[in-house]
Chains A and B, each alone.
Chain A
Amino acid sequence: MEKVRLVVIGGVAAGTKAASKARREHPDWEVLVITRDKDISYAGCGLPYFLSGVIKERKELVVRGPQEFLDDQNIIVLTQSEALSIDPTQKKLTFRELATNQIHTISYDHLVLATGASPVLPPLPGIELGNIYPLRTIENAEDIRSLLDKGAVKEAVVVGAGFVGLEAAENLALKGIRVTVVEMAPLVLPGYDEEMSQYVRNYLEEKGMEIRTGARVRGFTGNLDGKVCEVQLENEAIPAQLVIWAGGVKPNVALACASGLKLGPTGAIAVNEYQESSIQGIYAVGDCAENTHLITGDGVWCPMGSTSNKTGRIAGLNIGRQDQVDALPGVLGTSVIKLFELHAGRTGLTEEQAKAKGYNVVSTIVPANDKAHYYPGYQQIITKLIADRTSGRVLGVQVVGEGVVDKPVDIVATLISLGGNLEQLSRLDLAYAPPFSMAISSTILAAHVLRNKIQGKFVGVNPGELGVILAKGDAVILDVRTEAENFIRAIPGSLNIPFNELVLRYQEIPQNKKLIVVCKVGKRAYLTLDKLRSLGFTDLAILEGGLEAYPYEVI
């Protein structure tokens, strides 16, 4: 009897994961991986760090090669082989060996598509010039690194301020290169609300990075050698000897489309929670497949390494069985990034996304520490927590700062996955000792603050709303920090009366105006509310996150 044959098309994260899992489930199958790339199973997410030499060797990025797959797992890998067509009725696959141009047609019993995603390089004038690269493959990373190692790059432009773009920009800056990041969208770092994104942007600019948002690349100018030397924007030309195009990727779905597989609303391959496509027996995993948002149930596309590996595993488990053994119900868009010493993590919906989906959104911003304030090396992190006011359901979190952010993000991601609410979040029994957390962890603190807000104990003003409120002219900012703090950094136009001088000096506060009370993190402002009420002030609000989380103009 002939062996059952599983063919996996694509061999980076999801493809090799699916193949490995299926092999463990079915020792008697023949498992074949076909990939266009030269390399397989490489750490795509590690490429930015290879540029600066944080990751030194190529072999650190390539987890395993075809020979290891054959020797260790009896998985046959055909590299530099491009799948051309699938015949789902006959269960046949045609592919071409790129080296020899030979075309083969083979039969399969089971099929997994892991065709990934590719960078979209638009046909701009000059795009064909030398030293313009995407950063998607090891080859890209090696080309860029050899250019850097030659000392040929003093200035670089990174197009796209998503994860890969910003990580690439950071690693170029670490090499002493003057970097300009050009982003078409109004904000850097997708998945964050405006004020949190602005905080990250300020940090990057303080580190010397140039950032242009809402900016479109019009084209590239080259030198006599045919290498890029300038990037043209609408109103500006930026000198650059290297351009990294990280302006977005698209799922590779041509083969799937031609084979009759349905696409989802995002343009990626539609799959169910078992990773099975619209054609029975054909599975799709990794960046080419669509995901479901756990909160909204909408189709979303989250091409992340973490999701890729999970979808590969699920397909490997379920393929070739009548009963489904495991499922992936969805994703939350959980992500984390390190940029210099700044960390940023997020999960769930942003405030803006939650509003657009019709939730009764309430949010708060709370700066706190990642460890006990008396333990050396503690750092500040700023938590923005988002919930539904009516149900108390937690909808999302964004955490930024130089401290540990992945832990709080993971706590909230877990809670959301289990359908938890704010009350439950505020009552979690989390690990505590001074080197690890505050006695009341930053996440629980944020949950308390948000519960206080829902219960009407204070009215909060988001930093992004402050300008709008002030422009109306009927509000005053009351800064209750010490004179010294106010001297160093203050919001323009604020009135400084330190917390402990209020009773003596309250007559300086204009009557019949809305008072927006400001302090460093929000705590003193909150504690001041009672005193102000007893002094006869009624229209009171506090600035969410205080000066620490305020990302706009200060003097």
Chain B
Amino acid sequence: MAEIIINARGLQCPGPIVQLFNQSKQAGSGDVIKIEVTDHGFTKDVQAWCKKTGNELVELLDQGGVIYATIRKC
């Protein structure tokens, strides 16, 4: 299983979610994507995205203004 790390800090919407969307197309089933984002709107977006795709949102943290999301592709 591969682990993909995306640093989307400093990017405004839709930057982070577009990166996640594109990277996930490359990823295989079971791969883990870790993404770091500073855009506040991402929290809601990543939850909605996981719900729609069926990917698992393993972790979602908001620490010091940075959102850390870990997703396992289904």
* Contact surface of A with B, Cβ cutoff 8 Å: 373-374, 376-380, 481-485, 487-489, 520
Contact = CB atoms under 8 A, between A and B. Distances in A.
B14 A485 contact: yes
A484 B40 contact: no
B58 interface: no
Contacts of B48: 488-489
B16 to A, nearest CB: 9
Interface of B: 10, 12-14, 17-18, 20-22, 38, 40-41, 45, 48-49, 52, 64-65
B14 A487 contact: no
Given A373-B12, A376-B38, A377-B65, A484 B18 contact: yes
Contacts of B41: 380
Given A484-B21, A488-B48, A488-B52, A520 B14 contact: yes
29 contacts: A376-B38, A376-B64, A376-B65, A377-B65, A378-B40, A379-B40, A380-B40, A380-B41, A481-B14, A482-B14, A482-B18, A483-B21, A484-B14, A484-B17, A484-B18, A484-B21, A484-B22, A485-B13, A485-B14, A485-B17, A487-B21, A487-B49, A487-B52, A488-B45, A488-B48, A488-B49, A488-B52, A489-B48, A520-B13
A176 to B, nearest CB: 22
Nearest to A485: B14
A111 to B, nearest CB: 55
- Looking at A378, A482, A488, the one whose CB has the most chain B CB atoms below 10 A away is A488
Nearest to A403: B40
Given A376-B65, A378-B40, A489-B48, A484 B20 contact: yes
Contacts of A483: 21
B21 A374 contact: no
A231 to B, nearest CB: 33
A219 to B, nearest CB: 40
B18 to A, nearest CB: 5
B33 to A, nearest CB: 14
Nearest to B50: A488
Nearest to A555: B52
Nearest to B48: A488
A488 B14 CA distance: 11
Contacts of B18: 482, 484-485
Nearest to A375: B65
B31 to A, nearest CB: 18
A484 B13 CA distance: 11
- Looking at B14, B52, B65, the one whose CB has the most chain A CB atoms below 10 A away is B14
Contacts of B52: 487-488
Given A380-B41, A485-B14, A488-B52, 16 more contacts: A376-B38, A377-B65, A379-B40, A481-B14, A482-B14, A482-B18, A484-B14, A484-B18, A484-B20, A485-B13, A485-B18, A485-B45, A487-B21, A487-B49, A488-B17, A489-B48
A379 B62 CA distance: 14
Contacts of A488: 17, 45, 48-49, 52
Contacts of A484: 14, 17-18, 20-22, 49
Contacts of B22: 484
A368 to B, nearest CB: 12
Nearest 8 interchain pairs by C-beta: A484-B21, A376-B65, A484-B18, A488-B48, A485-B14, A484-B17, A482-B14, A482-B18
Contacts of A376: 38, 64-65
Nearest to A376: B65
A482 B14 CA distance: 8
Nearest to A489: B48
Nearest to A378: B40
A481 B64 CA distance: 29
Nearest to B65: A376
A378 to B, nearest CB: 7
A462 B36 CA distance: 35
Contacts of A378: 40
Contacts of B10: 374
A489 B51 CA distance: 11
A416 B12 CA distance: 34
Contacts of A489: 48
Contacts of B20: 484
Contacts of A520: 13-14
Contacts of A487: 21, 49, 52
Contacts of B45: 485, 488
Contacts of B13: 485, 520
- Looking at B13, B20, B38, B41, the one whose CB has the most chain A CB atoms below 10 A away is B13
B13 to A, nearest CB: 7
A489 to B, nearest CB: 6
A376 B63 CA distance: 11
Contacts of A482: 14, 17-18, 21
A536 B20 CA distance: 35
A488 B13 CA distance: 13
